[in-house]
A and B are shown apart, each in its own frame.
Chain A
Amino acid sequence: MNASNDGVDIEWAWHELVGACRDFFALHGYCEVFTPVMIPAPAMEENIDAVPCQDGYLRTSPELQMKILITRGHGRIFQIGPCFRLGELGPLHQPEFLMLEWYRTRCTHLDVLLETRCLLQAILRRLEESGRLPPGDNHLGLKGSWETVTVREAFLRSAGWDPIAEFDADRFWSDLVLKVEPDLPSEAPVVLTDYPSAAGGFARRKHEDPRVAERWELYIGGVEIANGCAEIISRQEQLQRFQQSADYRRRHGKALYPLDEEFLSAIDRIPPCAGVALGLNRLLMVLLGFKSLDELTPPPHALQVGRSKQIDT
C-alpha cells in the first residue's frame, strides 16, 4: 500500500474504484439512479446536521429519495454521489464526501452484508489489476475472514456495561469512540451488529427483541466505512423514529427539519428491504494506506479556518 499521494495516482485510483462499483452493481442487476442533491428536507436523525441551501438543504444522504424509488417498483438500485454534513471536519470527516448507497428488496441486513463483502473483493481485484494496489497483499485483512461482534459484547468487553439493557445516549456515543472503537482489531475487518434501537438510525427493530435494531457497521483498518440495515417499512414506526430524533434535537438545541411528506406518504408501500451506505473517500483512504482524508482531498482552506456552526432554521 504505497501509492503516492502526488501526481495523478489518486485520480486514477478514484476512477478504478468507482468503475469497479458500477461494474459490480450492473452485474448484479442493479439500476444506477440519480436523485436530487438539493432537497426540501433531510432525514431527521439525532446527530446528523444538514447544510442549508436556498429554501432547502443539501442532502446528508440519498436515503429518503431512494426509498421513494423503491416504492415505485424498483427492486435493486444504487447511487454514487456527493453528500454534505454540517460542521464535520477532521482527519476522518469532511463536509462533502462521495457516498455509495444501495437498496435491495426482499432481503435482510445480513444479505447485504454478504453483498458488501463481494463488492469489496471486486474492488480489490480491480485496484490490483489496474496497478493501483500491489497484488498479493492482504489489504487490511480484507481477503481473510471478517470478525463479527455484537454491540453488547463489544461494550461489555471494552466499556463494562450493556447498552441494550439500559441505553444512555451520551455515555453510549462517547464510550463507543473512546473505549470500544480503539479496542476493535484493526488488522482484520470487523462488523459491529445489533445496535441499540435508539442508536439504530432508521433500522427496523428486531422482532424478537425490539430494543435491538437490525443494523451493522463495518470497520476496516479500525475506521468506520459502511453501515447497513433492514429498513423500517411502517409509517407508524418511521414517524415514531422521526419524533424521537426531533425530541433529541430540540433538547440539544439543534435545528429541526421539516418532515418529507412525499416520503411519509410512500413508506407504507415499501416492501421489506435492506440498504447499505458506504463512504467511498474513507474506503479509498484506508486502501491507499492514508491516515487522513486530507491526503486524498485537501478540504478548501476556508473550511479549515472557520468551521461551520449550527444554524437555526
Chain B
Amino acid sequence: MYSSSDLRKGLKIEIDGDPYEIVDFQFVKPGKGQALYRCKIKNLLTGATLDRTFRAADKIGKPDLEERDMIYSYPDGDQYVFMDAATYDTVTVSGDLLGIRKYFLEGDMEVKILFHNGRPIDIALPFFVEKKVARTEPGVRGDTATNVTKPAQLENGYELQVPLFINEGDVVRIDTRTGKYVDRVSKG
C-alpha cells in the first residue's frame, strides 16, 4: 500500500482492482487544516481519466504491474505471439489490444509488454518503423503545395496519408505511437 505522501505525478496506483497512473497532482491544504492530494488519474485499461482526491490518512493500493522485454514471434489469426527474451515463455496478445500497432510488428522486433496481475495490458513498440509503400496514386505534377497528402497503403493493408512525392515501392518511416508518416527513407 502507498500512503498519500507517496503520491506524485507518474505513480501507478490501484483502485477497485484497476491500475491507474497519476497524470496530474496537486497538494492543497488550508493553513490549520488537513492536507488533500488532488489527483487526475488515468485508467491504464480503458484510458479514461478521472479526478480523485486523497486525504492524508488514506492508504492507496499498489498495483501488481510488471514490464517485461519480449520479442515478437508470429501471428496466429488475430492473435500475436511474443516470447520473453529471458525465460523463453510465450505470451499471446490480442489484435484488439495492439490496435494499429499490429501493422508495425516485424519478426524479432524487441518490445516491452506491461502486465497487470500477469495479464498483458499494454505494449510499447520501437517508436519508428520503416515500411514499403505497396499502393498509391501517382502525385499530380505541378502541385507543389506543402501539407497536401494522398492516401497510401502498405503491403499488409495499413492505410496512411503520405506527401504527393511518395511513389509505390518507396520506403517510409512511420511513428508507431501515432501511426503517421514521418519521412521517406529510400526511393523504390
Q: A173-B36, A174-B34, A224-B30 are in contact. Are A87 and B55 (CB under 8 A)?
A: no
* A310 and B28 within 8 A (CB): no
Instruction: Tell me if B5 is interfacial: C-beta within 8 Å of chain A.
Output: yes
Pick from B5, B32, B36, B57: contact of A177, CB below 8 A: B36
* B34 and A93 within 8 A (CB): no
**Residues from chain B with Cβ under 8 Å of A91 in the complex:** 26-27
Instruction: Tell me if A28 is interfacial: C-beta within 8 Å of chain B.
Output: no
A164 to B89, CA, bound (A): 63
* B28 and A177 within 8 A (CB): yes
**Residues from chain B with Cβ under 8 Å of A89 in the complex:** 27
The digit string for B18-49, where 1 denotes a CB below 8 A from any CB of A, is: 00000000111111111110000000000000
Question: How far, in Å, is A158 (CB) from chain B's closest CB?
Answer: 14
* B26 and A177 within 8 A (CB): no
A170 to B55, CA, bound (A): 9
* B31 and A217 within 8 A (CB): yes
Q: A177-B28, A309-B5 are in contact. Are A87 and B35 (CB under 8 A)?
A: yes
* B29 and A47 within 8 A (CB): yes
**Residues from chain B with Cβ under 8 Å of A177 in the complex:** 28-30, 33, 36
Question: How far, in Å, is B34 (CB) from chain A's closest CB?
Answer: 4
Question: How far, in Å, is B51 (CB) from chain A's closest CB?
Answer: 10
The digit string for A185-212, where 1 denotes a CB below 8 A from any CB of B, is: 0000000000000011100000000000
Question: How far, in Å, is B4 (CB) from chain A's closest CB?
Answer: 10
Q: Which residue of A lies closest to B5 (CB)?
A: A309
* A307 and B8 within 8 A (CB): yes
Pick from B8, B27, B32: contact of A93, CB below 8 A: B27
**Residues from chain A with Cβ under 8 Å of B35 in the complex:** 47, 87-88
Instruction: Tell me if A1 is interfacial: C-beta within 8 Å of chain B.
Output: no
**Residues from chain A with Cβ under 8 Å of B34 in the complex:** 46-47, 169-170, 173-174
**Residues from chain A with Cβ under 8 Å of B26 in the complex:** 90-91
Question: How far, in Å, is B59 (CB) from chain A's closest CB?
Answer: 11
Instruction: Tell me if A176 is interfacial: C-beta within 8 Å of chain B.
Output: yes
Question: How far, in Å, is B105 (CB) from chain A's closest CB?
Answer: 36
Instruction: Tell me if A178 is interfacial: C-beta within 8 Å of chain B.
Output: yes
Question: How far, in Å, is B79 (CB) from chain A's closest CB?
Answer: 41
Question: How far, in Å, is A102 (CB) from chain B's closest CB?
Answer: 16
Max chain B Cβ within 10 angstroms of own Cβ: one of A170, A173, A200: A173
Q: Which residue of B lies closest to A308 (CB)?
A: B5
Instruction: Tell me if B117 is interfacial: C-beta within 8 Å of chain A.
Output: no
**Residues from chain A with Cβ under 8 Å of B28 in the complex:** 90, 92, 177
User: Would you call the interface of chain B mostly helix, strand, loop, or mixed?
Assistant: loop
A308 to B30, CA, bound (A): 18
Instruction: Tell me if B90 is interfacial: C-beta within 8 Å of chain A.
Output: no
Question: How far, in Å, is A62 (CB) from chain B's closest CB?
Answer: 15
Question: How far, in Å, is B44 (CB) from chain A's closest CB?
Answer: 23
Q: Which residue of A lies closest to B27 (CB)?
A: A90
Instruction: Tell me if A252 is interfacial: C-beta within 8 Å of chain B.
Output: yes
* B33 and A199 within 8 A (CB): yes
Instruction: Tell me if B97 is interfacial: C-beta within 8 Å of chain A.
Output: no
* A176 and B30 within 8 A (CB): yes
Instruction: Tell me if A65 is interfacial: C-beta within 8 Å of chain B.
Output: no
**Residues from chain B with Cβ under 8 Å of A93 in the complex:** 27, 29
Instruction: Tell me if A63 is interfacial: C-beta within 8 Å of chain B.
Output: no
* B55 and A174 within 8 A (CB): yes
Instruction: Tell me if B186 is interfacial: C-beta within 8 Å of chain A.
Output: no
Question: How far, in Å, is A16 (CB) from chain B's closest CB?
Answer: 25
* A88 and B29 within 8 A (CB): yes
* A310 and B33 within 8 A (CB): no
Instruction: Tell me if A227 is interfacial: C-beta within 8 Å of chain B.
Output: yes
A178 to B57, CA, bound (A): 17
Q: Which residue of A lies closest to B25 (CB)?
A: A90
Give 5 nearest A-B pairs by CB, closest first: A90-B27, A173-B33, A173-B34, A201-B32, A47-B34
Beyond A173-B34, A177-B29: 6 further Cβ-contacts under 8 Å? A47-B35, A90-B28, A90-B29, A177-B28, A217-B30, A227-B32
21 interchain pairs (CB within 8 A)?
Answer: A46-B32, A47-B32, A47-B34, A47-B35, A48-B32, A87-B35, A89-B27, A90-B26, A90-B28, A93-B27, A93-B29, A173-B30, A174-B55, A199-B32, A201-B32, A217-B30, A227-B32, A252-B56, A252-B57, A308-B5, A310-B5
